[in-house]
């Protein structure tokens, strides 16, 4: 199993707007295409104005295929257009993680 940890840093005051857009225009599409949403979080302490989500994949090839299918979906393209217009995202960091043999998540 592989996990993708995605961290979005948003402009101050844009967090609520971005979450509303994501929930209405992207969440369903991502769940349909990417499959296994492990968690979706916002930061409270430390670097604020961040959204962090974690997705699980059985392999890197599965991740590649699922993300390619999502990228071709017109609903995802519409979200991307709206996301660009909102201009809330400052940075995006994506990490691929492999659990250790003793990790509760495998």
| pLDDT tens digits for range 96-105 | 999 999 999 9
Q: For 57-95, what is each residue's pLDDT tens digit?
A: 999 999 999 999 999 999 999 999 999 999 999 999 999
- Strand runs (DSSP E) across 1-106, as ranges? 2-10, 36-42, 50-57, 89-97
- At 83 the pLDDT is 98
CA 7 to chain centre: 7
Tokens describing residue 23:
């929930």
Domains, the chain, with CATH or none: 2-97 (3.30.70.100)
């Amino acid at each position: 199993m592989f996990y993708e940890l995605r961290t979005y840093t948003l402009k101050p005051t844009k967090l609520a707007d971005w979450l509303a857009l994501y929930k209405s225009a992207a969440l369903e599409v991502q769940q349909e295409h990417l499959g296994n949403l492990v968690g979706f979080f916002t930061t409270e302490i430390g670097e604020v104005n961040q959204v962090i989500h974690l997705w699980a994949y059985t392999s890197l090839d599965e991740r590649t295929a699922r993300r390619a299918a999502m990228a071709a979906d017109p609903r995802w393209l519409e979200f991307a257009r709206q996301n660009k217009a909102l201009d809330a995202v400052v940075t995006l960091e994506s990490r691929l993680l492999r659990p250790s043999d003793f990790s509760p998540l495998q």
